[in-house]
Amino acid sequence: MELAVLLVNVLAADSAHGRPVTPPLTGGERLAAIHSGLSAAGRPPSGLTTADADRLAEVAGEVRLLYGAGDCLPEAAARLNDLLRRHGAVPTLHGDPGKPLRLAFHRPDATLVDAWAADMGTALAMVIGVGQGARLGVCQAATCSLVFFDTTRNASRRFCDLSCQNRAKASAYRARRRT
């Protein structure tokens, strides 16, 4: 789930924290964005190529539609089903000698992009499939299209982070003062 949020935010956001941003456009830029995003999250990727980065940008663009989908969720889910098929998502027990078996949603011989897309897509499908699609949120602050996974108990989260929450509160306060 964190991986989906991270990839969408670094590869497919056109605004963040009140400022328009240009998503990375070339394979090199995308690869750098994925590396810095994942390294900041404490899990630097290894073995990714610029071609992988381009394919992951496509995946991020498709997955992005699921966040804040509202009434469009069925259409976004149909595209998710298609993504799961294309990337060969299948529940599989993976085993390394001497280690406990681990359930993942890609074939043992899947490419890295297929594995990420299948695992991410399955995680999102499981959230939507238990009626929790509204937890795939988009920041409600002005000029911020960052997405998040809402883990609050009553699914009440509205902002990507505290800085956007404070900005939105301040502008609501100014709007009240004006009237």
Q: How far is the CB of 15 from Zn ion (least distance, A)?
A: 9
DSSP-derived secondary structure letter, 134: G
Nearer to Zn ion by Cβ, of 8 and 77: the residue is: 8
Nearer to Zn ion by Cβ, of 40 and 90: the residue is: 40
CA separation for the pair 91, 101 (Å, rounded): 13
Cα–chain-centroid distance for residue 91? 21
- The total of other beta-carbon atoms located within 10 Å of residue 107's CB is 16
CA separation for the pair 41, 168 (Å, rounded): 26
Q: How far is the CB of 48 from Zn ion (least distance, A)?
A: 27
Nearer to Zn ion by Cβ, of 102 and 169: the residue is: 169
Nearer to Zn ion by Cβ, of 31 and 141: the residue is: 141
- The total of other beta-carbon atoms located within 10 Å of residue 39's CB is 11
Single out the residue of 86, 34, 84 nearest to residue 57, CA to CA: 34
Q: How far is the CB of 19 from Zn ion (least distance, A)?
A: 10
Site residues, Zn ion (CB under 5 A): 139, 141, 144, 146, 160, 164
Phi and psi torsions of 119, nearest 5° = -65, -45
Q: How far is the CB of 61 from Zn ion (least distance, A)?
A: 19
Q: How far is the CB of 147 from Zn ion (least distance, A)?
A: 9
Nearer to Zn ion by Cβ, of 132 and 163: the residue is: 163
